[in-house]
């Protein structure tokens, strides 16, 4: 079997701006056939999605995978809840962290790993306040200015 390089399908760029990411987890996603085909086309959006606990399982909520254009009447629902596949110890650890409060589970990216399996990178996140966001933006601008100044003139 040919090894594939990891292919990122969707990325949540606002997550690192809106949250402090404390810990990251890799989870599989329980998908139907047309969802996988739609993801392989590179069509998905996780900008407004989050992960939550329902019946001692972790679910990805409000993620958008559009219907597959070649699908028939058995096409999937674009915004359905998708079960995330994690180890039982990881699930218990995440449930405990979410019950303590002050944190949320945010999907950072959806990608295919080397074996061709659809995965989602989850971040255990704490919300940033407005002044934290300003400091992040200031740091980013300073690093950009610093690299511009250090660039060789020629």
What tokens were used for 152? 């060789």
Per-residue confidence band for 72, with pLDDT thresholds at 50, 70 and 90: confident
pTM of the model: 0.78
- Integer Cα distance of 35 and 111 in angstroms: 13
> 7-128 — its CATH code?
2.40.280.10
Q: What's the DSSP call for residue 79?
A: T
- pLDDT tens for each residue of 134-147: 888 898 899 999 88
pLDDT at 4 over 70: no
Q: Which of 36-40, 73-77, 146-150 bottoms out in mean pLDDT, i.e. has the lowest?
A: 73-77
Can you list the pairs that 96-104 forms with residues at least 24 positions away whose Cβ atoms lie under 8 Å?
97/124, 98/53, 102/126, 103/22, 104/19, 104/50
Residue-range domain boundaries for the chain: 7-128
């Amino acid at each position: 079997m040919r090894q594939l390089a990891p292919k990122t399908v969707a990325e949540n760029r606002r997550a690192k701006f809106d949250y402090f990411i404390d810990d990251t987890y890799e989870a599989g996603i329980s998908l139907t056939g047309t969802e996988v085909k739609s993801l392989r086309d590179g069509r998905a959006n996780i900008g407004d999605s989050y992960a939550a606990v329902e019946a001692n399982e972790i679910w990805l909520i409000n993620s958008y995978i559009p219907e597959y254009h070649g699908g028939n009447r058995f096409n999937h629902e674009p915004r359905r809840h998708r079960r995330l596949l994690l180890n039982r110890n990881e699930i218990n650890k995440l449930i405990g962290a979410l019950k303590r409060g002050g944190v949320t589970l945010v999907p950072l990216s959806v990608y295919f790993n080397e074996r061709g399996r659809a995965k989602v990178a989850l971040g255990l996140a704490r919300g940033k306040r407005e002044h934290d966001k300003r400091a992040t933006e200031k740091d980013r601008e300073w690093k950009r200015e610093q690299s511009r100044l250090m660039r060789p003139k020629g």
